[in-house]
Chains A and B, each alone.
Chain A
């Protein structure tokens, strides 16, 4: 019965710990390995124009629906302008306004995005477009082209492909030639194609954006064709007719409108620059989950002040040390001072690094012990004697630090407040055992403590483990459940197999 409770509890802790862990890992995108960086692109639109005499109003299309990308942040830099974001027919529009401005004006809009495959085109299904009003003789040309293409196609996708094949034909027929007169940019070209598709009652629109790749000081907008087949939007390369988006294509805006509209200004020019950065995946995960109002993030350790974070990154490793202690005690059977003294010693090693820590520790304990025995001759009471040992340890540390500084060994100086107390306590414990159980037992327990401390130090110092626990503190529940299960281990310890070996030789 009792036993079952233990396992149920352990299982419960494991399940909760793992569930939160997987949620944070898979859904919120917290990285399991350290220093995971994601590329983040910052795209800057610079709108330049000469101001006119009156008030100025600038409207710029800004990204709304961006399949494959998620926005990290956006901002605008424009001195003196009032700024607002509105929804227009083609998506979001940034609007700047000012009563008066002199000379050449530049307004910047910046957006930072990162790749996220889970962001999908969540646009609504559009109604069938109204028949475009086209004047003769173009109307006939469109009608003929549409009926011919329709004969050679089965559905929306194949219709679009066929149409694009025909309009891109190096030796176009007369209808196409007629329709394409005066088309001198890819945007115009896609515009004409959407009109033809509208005449065939197929919802279509122009998409403009950039294939994001590295750093581009001056990026050109690429026009793409978007066609709705009744279920979803399909993307077509307007030149080749291929049904796909370019790699890492970032959609800026949709529709046939111009990207910017400046009232009260002239010589309008829009330039784009793209900058690729690498940002810590944790920062991205946090921004992202903050948007989703995820509970987990409010309690993330990364929201603490940096100094507190540093303390916790150490503190959170103590359970790992405790687990090591439990294993070495109850499964291996190593003798050590105190229950968790070795874990504290391991913590002290963090400040000094292992080799130097072990040397320093053994030296200090050995020196402290000899002085402790000298003090013993004075027949001091327990507490004053402990106090005296502590003072002697402080003085010894001071001497060692000064000596190592003289010798040019800087690590000697890194001894901190905390190890001092631990060393003083170890000396006292060891001397009591020494007196009562003899040198052998004291040495054995001392060596055992050191072994446990070193093993604990190695595990507690694993930076990937530290990162994992710090990012996913819920994993401590797993450690807890392991410790609880270990608490029900009633088998032999490794040391007992040696201890009872006389019994098994029958």
Chain B
């Protein structure tokens, strides 16, 4: 079938871009709150204040004159990540995983390539002048802790760091997926760039089948390993942290991106006021149905832990989970 019938999509409860923008983002996400999530430095500060775990910040380069501070900031670091504070969709992120053995100003990227310090400085200059920011405005470059990712998803990732995206509706986690980097995505965990998204059973934290582009896939395109049936560690903690993202930002329709560090557990990477909709394909479920369920049992006095429990109770994966248990 080339096109789905709108009636059928509606019955499944699939949320479309127009509906998301008009009914949820416009209503629940006041514009004045956007800077809290658009600026990663600010998000980090807020998350820290709320007692959430985030990757350590090594330094911020705020303008062109500070670009040369880069060498100082990373002097004692073997690995780190450079990202634009206002970047979107994972654009403009450099993951440095090591240095040249003889020349310490040669950096090894997660893709395996070596780049010179000049190239990195150029990248930072571009970042600061706003190449990756949402409206091309001036930006800051963040240099932070590089996550040593936990082994659960090693089989289903091609370089890069897989991350977990949780959609939080008015403080209640409603849907989640694991985003797995591929060769095509250049190690980035961004579905637009070719990463695989795997649905997650909200009640167990086990992965379901994945989505690549707009198609359902069972195996990772590069490693060939099965995507489904992997248990995400510390799932309770992840749900609670993401639920807390609402308390920190006040955004009623929120995407919380987390990574699992081998040493430090789940860390909040960033939050997103306009999370994408492909998560529905990954979970083979529409978002609207779950949102309506939350509307029905919304309790303004519930804390993050209670809200996370509601998510576990209410949103078990329907068909897929059963399939895998019998198989």
| Partner-B contacts on A (CB < 8 A) | 330, 333, 379, 381-383, 432, 436-438, 441, 487-494, 496-506
Contact = CB atoms under 8 A, between A and B. Distances in A.
A436 B126 CA distance: 13
Given A441-B192, A498-B2, A498-B3, A503 B284 contact: yes
Given A382-B130, A497-B4, A502-B216, 5 more contacts: A379-B119, A382-B131, A498-B2, A498-B4, A501-B1
Contacts of A490: 16, 18-19, 22-23
A503 B13 CA distance: 10
Interface in B279-294: 280-281, 284, 286
A500 B129 contact: no
Contacts of A493: 16-18
Interface of B: 1-6, 8-10, 12, 14, 16-19, 22-23, 64, 89, 91-92, 118-119, 122, 125-126, 129-132, 192-194, 211, 214-216, 277-278, 280-281, 284, 286
Contact of B4 (A330, A333, A437, A501): A501
Most buried by B among A437, A487, A502: A502
Contact of B22 (A381, A438, A487, A496): A487
Most buried by B among A379, A383, A489, A493: A379
B129 A501 contact: no
Contact of A497 (B6, B64, B126): B6
Contacts of A436: 89, 91-92, 132
Contact of A383 (B23, B129, B211): B129
A438 B190 CA distance: 12
B19 A503 contact: no
A441 B194 CA distance: 11
B126 A496 contact: no
A379 B67 CA distance: 14
B4 A503 contact: yes
B150 to A, nearest CB: 27
Contacts of B22: 487-490
A438 B281 CA distance: 23
A353 B12 CA distance: 46
Contact of B214 (A441, A491, A500, A506): A500
Most buried by B among A379, A441, A501, A506: A501
7 contacts: A436-B91, A489-B22, A490-B22, A493-B16, A502-B211, A502-B284, A503-B286
Contacts of A333: 17
A381 B124 CA distance: 10
A506 B9 CA distance: 11
Contact of A502 (B125, B193, B214): B214
B131 to A, nearest CB: 5
Contacts of B3: 494, 497-498, 501
B6 A491 contact: yes
Contacts of B91: 436-437
Nearest to B64: A381
A502 B118 CA distance: 45
B1 A505 contact: yes
A381 B125 CA distance: 7
A500 B295 CA distance: 24
Nearest to A494: B3
A389 to B, nearest CB: 13
A62 to B, nearest CB: 66
Contacts of B2: 498, 501
* Top 7 A-B pairs, shortest CB-CB distance: A504-B4, A490-B19, A382-B129, A379-B122, A492-B16, A436-B91, A497-B3
A502 B215 contact: yes
Given A502-B214, A503-B4, A489 B18 contact: yes
Contacts of A496: 9, 14, 16-17, 277
A494 B211 CA distance: 20
A432 B194 CA distance: 17
B261 to A, nearest CB: 26
B280 A500 contact: yes
A280 to B, nearest CB: 44
Contacts of A382: 126, 129-131
A496 B18 CA distance: 10
B210 to A, nearest CB: 11
A504 B5 contact: yes
Contacts of A500: 4, 9, 14, 214, 280-281
B175 to A, nearest CB: 13
Nearest to B20: A490
A453 to B, nearest CB: 21
A437 B192 contact: yes
Nearest to B214: A499
A496 B64 CA distance: 41
Given A436-B132, A491-B6, A502 B16 contact: no
